[in-house]
Homo-oligomer: A and B are copies of this chain.
Amino acid sequence: MKRKTYRVTFQPEGRSVFVLAGTKLVEAAGQAGIILNQPCGGEGTCGKCRVQVLGDAPEPTPSDRRHLDAAALADGARLACQLAIRGDMVVSIPQETRFFEQMVLTEGSGCKYPFEPNVRKQFVSVPAATVEDQRSDLDRLKDSLGAGSRGAVAELELVRALPGILRSSDDGVTVVFEGGEIQAVEPGDTTGKLWGISFDIGTTTLVGTLMSLTTGQSKAVAARTNPQVHFGDDVVTRVSYIQNHADGLDRLRKRLVACLNEMILEMCSSAQVDADSIYEVTAVGNTTMSHIFLGIDPRPIAQAPYVAVFREAMDVKARDVGLETNRNANVHVLPNIAGFVGSDTVAMVLASGMAREDDVRLGIDIGTNGEVVIGNRERLIACSCAAGPAFEGARIRYGMRATEGAISKVVVNDSIDVSVIGGGRASGMCGSGLIDAVAQLLNAGVIDETGRIVDVAGAGHSLPDSLRKAMVEFEEQPAVVLVDAAQSKTREPILLTQRDVREVQLAKGAIQAGVQVIAAEFGVDPADLSQVLLAGGFGNFIRRSNAKRIGLLPSVSTDRIEFIGNAASTGAKALLACRSCREEAERVSRETEYVELANRPDFQSYFMDAMTFPPS
């Protein structure tokens, strides 16, 4: 009994997703990993989410007519926040509508960071030495670069190569600057070849973006499963591996770096870029991933009192960490906040602009740990909530990651309708499906405020037949059938069990209590927050109202809950594109107050209260 789904294909990526009828186009784009501008929060008032429907476009809405002229409308232009999907469609997303590109790269009101990369190139003609001009090679080079370059430092390796390069390049040479340093000198004019890569090093997923550092445009993206999953699914098991194997750190590091190098190759090949033209890499990740990437022992993070070895940003040479870019490329690892609040959180703060505004906002990135940060430009407070892996599908009877076959959406009216990633039969449910199921069954009265699945014979008696039929017993406890055996891929029913609901209560309770502790510390009621920012791949799929319904998100009005995309990646890209952002990152890293929840006497009582569901 599935509701109708439609296929939406996005250009120029050519990426497709399947969505339930009525889904807004902006949400479908999010599912495809394409984040659109929504300064007005999807109200149809700002006109910033303009896309172009290829082929037959639906009838324009009043908002469309207000923001787009007749010619544009005739050409298929529509606002993505207003377009409810009622059929298969192909949509082209212009650059200026894309969230990241606009935020980082263009000037004007939407611009948050100027485009000013840390590496730049300058082509210069260096006069040959003569008997009248006996300045040294390095002096002639620096003098040609202009007064500001007199004090630029040049490394030994570069000076060793210099006489050969100058004497083989009659036309001139290209100098690569990294901050105030001369990173390299190349024969001829290579100013057109200037690339950078940003990496988001997740525990599970690695995402890389190849960016032109002359235009700021992203030219290729690569994603891979972090090969360290062979050593354990989560951070704790990987650190255990290091604890138990003398060469454990080196093995984990090399696996990771080998995979990053494959991604570099893939992106370079797809964009037809020489890896030697990559002069800078930025990297974000949780604190343990950052440590392992740099070959720094992460064990202090995993053992009491849980501290990082380094907090500040680290700048190292690509050759020193084994990245196969230009060997002199700078690798900038963003600063973290604490052992359990990594540079991915710093990146989220940067990407959202939280640290630059007066409004008090909350940022949440939900993974195995939920990192939560609250505040404004005056003060920021962060904590890490041990949510556990429920929202990643673990410890849930039919849980799975958000891949093909996962129920990603559940709607309960008279019946239970599900939406499956990839459009085929369901084999389990991912985090967003789990939240939907619990929230919708709470609304339907199938689950009560304490988290109990109601007795069909008792309270459940008032439910519609179709729901009552879905209520079964599983391992001597109640459960709800989301997909019949006949409809599932595995030919067994897909259930939400009582134990699953308890896991959701523990997970959301941990996050909810964490939010309450730091909100109290900041002196703000969560309900008064001007905005709640949802980051990370998971946030992408969450239905805001359902997440609020179960108490995972504070009870602010839905239009104040904003999905900000993969903020970790966005932040890494921002720091690749903008050198001066690094100061803000350092400030956020240094000044954000970290609250260790385990240490707070008030946490346990908040947690006990947060375990129940809010009244409807």
Which residues on A are within 8 Å of B, measured CB to CB?
A: 129-139, 156, 159-160, 162-164, 167, 294-297, 299-300, 304-312, 314, 316, 320-321, 338-339, 594, 596, 598-599
Q: Which residues of B contact A316 (CB under 8 A)?
A: 156
Distance from A573 Cβ to chain B, minimum over Cβ atoms (Å): 23
How far does the alpha carbon of A306 sit from the alpha carbon of B131 in the complex, in Å?
8
Q: Which residues of B contact A320 (CB under 8 A)?
A: 156
- Selected contact of A156 from candidates B129, B162, B306, B314, CB within 8 Å: B314
B596–A297 CB distance below 8 A: no
A160–B305 CB distance below 8 A: no
A159–B308 CB distance below 8 A: no
> Which chain B residue has the least Cβ–Cβ distance from A135?
B307
Q: Give 19 CB contacts A-B under 8 Å.
A: A130-B305, A131-B305, A131-B598, A134-B338, A134-B594, A134-B596, A137-B307, A137-B309, A138-B311, A138-B312, A139-B312, A156-B294, A156-B314, A156-B320, A159-B310, A160-B294, A160-B296, A162-B309, A163-B296
Distance from A513 Cβ to chain B, minimum over Cβ atoms (Å): 18
Known contacts A131-B305, A598-B131; is A311 also within 8 Å of B159 by CB? no
- Selected contact of A307 from candidates B136, B160, B309, B314, CB within 8 Å: B136
Q: Which residues of B contact A129 (CB under 8 A)?
A: 300, 305, 307
Known contacts A137-B308, A139-B311; is A296 also within 8 Å of B338 by CB? no
Distance from A447 Cβ to chain B, minimum over Cβ atoms (Å): 37
- Selected contact of A136 from candidates B135, B163, B295, B309, CB within 8 Å: B309
B598–A310 CB distance below 8 A: no
A134–B339 CB distance below 8 A: yes
> Which chain B residue has the least Cβ–Cβ distance from A134?
B307
Known contacts A300-B129, A316-B156, A320-B156; is A310 also within 8 Å of B138 by CB? yes
Q: Which residues of B contact A156 (CB under 8 A)?
A: 294-296, 314, 316, 320-321
Distance from A379 Cβ to chain B, minimum over Cβ atoms (Å): 18
A138–B307 CB distance below 8 A: no
Q: Which residues of B contact A314 (CB under 8 A)?
A: 156, 159
Q: Which residues of B contact A304 (CB under 8 A)?
A: 131
Sample of 8 more A-B contacts, CB < 8 Å, known A129-B305, A159-B296: A130-B305, A131-B598, A138-B312, A139-B312, A156-B294, A156-B295, A159-B310, A164-B297
Q: Which residues of B contact A307 (CB under 8 A)?
A: 129, 134-137
Q: Ordered nearest first, which 9 A-B pairs have the shortest CB separation?
A: A136-B311, A136-B308, A129-B307, A131-B305, A137-B309, A138-B310, A156-B316, A129-B305, A163-B309
B312–A134 CB distance below 8 A: no
> Which chain B residue has the least Cβ–Cβ distance from A164?
B297
Known contacts A295-B160, A296-B160; is A131 also within 8 Å of B599 by CB? yes
Distance from A118 Cβ to chain B, minimum over Cβ atoms (Å): 16
Q: Which residues of B contact A294 (CB under 8 A)?
A: 156, 159-160
Distance from A158 Cβ to chain B, minimum over Cβ atoms (Å): 10
Distance from A325 Cβ to chain B, minimum over Cβ atoms (Å): 16
Distance from A175 Cβ to chain B, minimum over Cβ atoms (Å): 15
A305–B134 CB distance below 8 A: yes
Most buried by B among A163, A167, A304, A594: A163
A134–B306 CB distance below 8 A: yes
How far does the alpha carbon of A294 sit from the alpha carbon of B136 in the complex, in Å?
15
Distance from A593 Cβ to chain B, minimum over Cβ atoms (Å): 11
Distance from A317 Cβ to chain B, minimum over Cβ atoms (Å): 8
Distance from A536 Cβ to chain B, minimum over Cβ atoms (Å): 24
Distance from A423 Cβ to chain B, minimum over Cβ atoms (Å): 46
